[in-house]
Chains A and B, each alone.
Chain A
Amino acid sequence: MKYLAEFRDGQTARSLLTEIKAITTRPWTIMEVCGGQTHAIIKSGINQLLPAEITLVHGPGCPVCVTPLEFIDKAIYLAGRPNTILTTFGDMLRVPGSSESLLSRQSEGADVRMVYSVLDAIRLARENPDKEIIFFAIGFETTAPGNGTALIQAKRLNLTNFSMLTCHVLVPPALRALLSGETGRVDGYLAAGHVCTITGLTDYKTLCHDFKVPIVVTGLEPVDILEGILHTIRQLEDGRANLENCYTRLVSDEGNLHAQTTLREVFKVCDRNWRGMGTIPESGLSIAEPFKQWNAEIKFDLSHISAEESGECIAGLILQGLKKPSQCLSFATDCTPQKPMGATMVSGEGACGAYYKYSRFLQSTTTT
């Protein structure tokens, strides 16, 4: 149970909370960037246990949530093609497109399959040479290298019946966009630990320097998160704005060089539309020229598919930390996991889903 029990240990967590309380003298707002962190915070109740001066706001780090409607519609369209198996990660299945989800398309007969790894999709392609296997690839820098490896494999195996619909996004440009729009609303940031295992720290150092905010690279377990908060508060109370790495058991300065090489080989940086947030320059990865024959957007004509976001869902504001799920009028009334208006309600890392699942009746937390 090493690495499971020790980072959820109640005693360790309580002593960190005591330390946080002891050093906090003023109100501070901290954004946890990663949706996995948001879920850990709500699930463990950290938000109820912090001193009243500290406000946590939830960031854009939910890859399912930021995938634009248009891409979901494209995936649903591809799933409806004859002789096709559309594969993707489980989280993506329930996310609503313009009129339906992959799960509802599946119940109507489309062959949509959940996979744990893109390599399962490659295996399906080899086992079903007479079918088109399409992998719907989403995610941040964490999932992109694995998916990139699949493209390298597809090329090596000359798999002509495999292709990838790609909507990868990058965290630092999104943080830059948030910080540029800021007027001192968020005082410090917990950077997403898993993303940093791949990227290393260079981009984050630049952000600290450019915007004079403390950024603390933080893991995803309750004790990790409390440590991240403690280090952020310490910097804020001392008037410092540095990059700190509190996730040293996984994150190194330079990151995962092998994964970075794969990313450079297979993908190119592109402008990307983030669901609810608009287009952010150089914030996405698309499939590079040498791999274009495995690009589902080129292989199948998808240019006729476009989609407009409904105005009712405030997921965009939630993903930027401007609103909390409990401040949405539709929360738990018109919008529920069974009948979601936006992806933040159904993704495993969406803030609305976390509030709904863990705290919708607990007044003390929904009003914070």
Chain B
Amino acid sequence: MTIQLSHGSGGKLSADLTRDLLLPRFANAALNQLEDQAVLSMPPGKIAFSTDSFVVSPLFFPGGDIGELAVNGTVNDIAMSGAKPLYLSLGLILEAGLAIATLERVLDSIARAAKTAGVTIVTGDTKVVERGNCDKLFINTSGIGVIQAGIELGVKNIRPGDKIIISGTIGDHGITILNQRNKLGDNISLKSDTAPLNGLIQTMLETTRGIHTLRDPTRGGLAMTLNEFSQGAGVGIELWEENLPITSQVAASCELLGIDPLYVANEGKLVAIVAPDGADSILQTMRQHKYGKNATIIGEVVPDHPAIVTIQTSLGGKRIVDMPVAEQLPRIC
């Protein structure tokens, strides 16, 4: 059984797909109305709103799949503002010929991830394009969450002296995907780190003080996120190479491929910029959460070299950690 163009035409097959595949997995009061929109009640507070599209290939990889990524990606983008994510939309673009069993596997994963993250899928859309016009399956999710009064995270809060915390090891997702795509070897136990971070963030906000801003270092990796912070706040950032958490598998793969792990994507990590006097207690809180076990202080905000990120090497030298200019290309020898 495969997806046909008429599954997206709005006719009987479209209705069947909604009834048989979507509703049983995502049923909730708002979605069950089957109106053109979800009508929602929101708790008091500012609303955080975010959208993200997912086109990863392969669809399934060690540690996750496109469905889980689509839920966690938007959940995390909302949560980085300090908001509690509540509702997601789900847009599916399917390539004609996609096996229905594959779609079901992805939908199961979306339902599971939404449940884990504590969000509901309240509206959606499905389109089918001709074969060759998309790669199997693309997903867009948008979502909203509510920010409790008193929480105001943002780049504007960053000050020299602040500490920089990463919630765990870097580069796991990107290297896993690269390894899958290029079939570099099955004998390395790499796994994507995709995870919903709203629970971790909620705990951090409830039990600690001094969090200035949060962001998830996805595309462009840690280097991109820190450059955005540094340029956005007009401050310098200094990293300490010896403190960077990185698994030996990722380090070795990066070495073989000539890729710098600072630029590799993560899908279940956050960077926190925190006030120096709160750093230790925030770190301890993070380490007690399952998505923050390997949290580490990796550097600090400095008054020198505004808008530039540097790293102190393990030898004691210093170099720039630049914005990524292009897709990283492996060196030749």
Interface residues of A (CB under 8 A from B): 1, 4, 8-10, 13-14, 17, 36, 42-49, 63-64, 89-94, 114, 116, 138-140, 142-143, 194, 222, 337-338, 348-349, 356-362
Contact = CB atoms under 8 A, between A and B. Distances in A.
B332 A358 contact: no
B314 A10 contact: yes
A45 B329 contact: no
Contacts of A4: 248, 251-252, 255
Contacts of B33: none
A43 B329 contact: no
B182 A116 contact: yes
A142 B333 contact: yes
A361 B323 CA distance: 13
Contacts of A8: 314-315
Interface string B304-333: 010010100111111110100110011111
B320 A348 contact: no
Nearest to B312: A45
B332 A348 contact: yes
Given A43-B319, A44-B313, A45-B319, A91 B255 contact: no
26 contacts: A9-B314, A10-B315, A13-B316, A44-B313, A45-B315, A45-B319, A46-B317, A48-B317, A49-B316, A64-B332, A90-B258, A90-B331, A91-B332, A93-B329, A94-B329, A116-B182, A194-B333, A222-B315, A337-B326, A338-B326, A348-B330, A348-B332, A357-B322, A360-B320, A362-B319, A362-B320
Contacts of A91: 329-332
Given A63-B332, A143-B333, A362-B310, A14 B316 contact: yes
CB-based closest 10 A-B pairs: A45-B317, A348-B331, A90-B329, A358-B319, A89-B332, A10-B314, A13-B315, A90-B330, A91-B332, A48-B317
A299 to B, nearest CB: 24
Interface string B127-170: 00000000000000000000000000000000000000000000
Contacts of B332: 63-64, 89-92, 138-139, 143, 348-349
User: In terms of DSSP, what is the predominant structure of the interface of chain A?
Assistant: helix
Interface of B: 182, 242, 248, 251-252, 255, 258, 305, 308, 310, 313-320, 322, 325-326, 329-333
Nearest to B332: A89
A45 B316 contact: yes
Contacts of A17: 315
Nearest to A142: B333
Contacts of A10: 242, 314-316
Contacts of A143: 332-333
Contacts of A93: 329
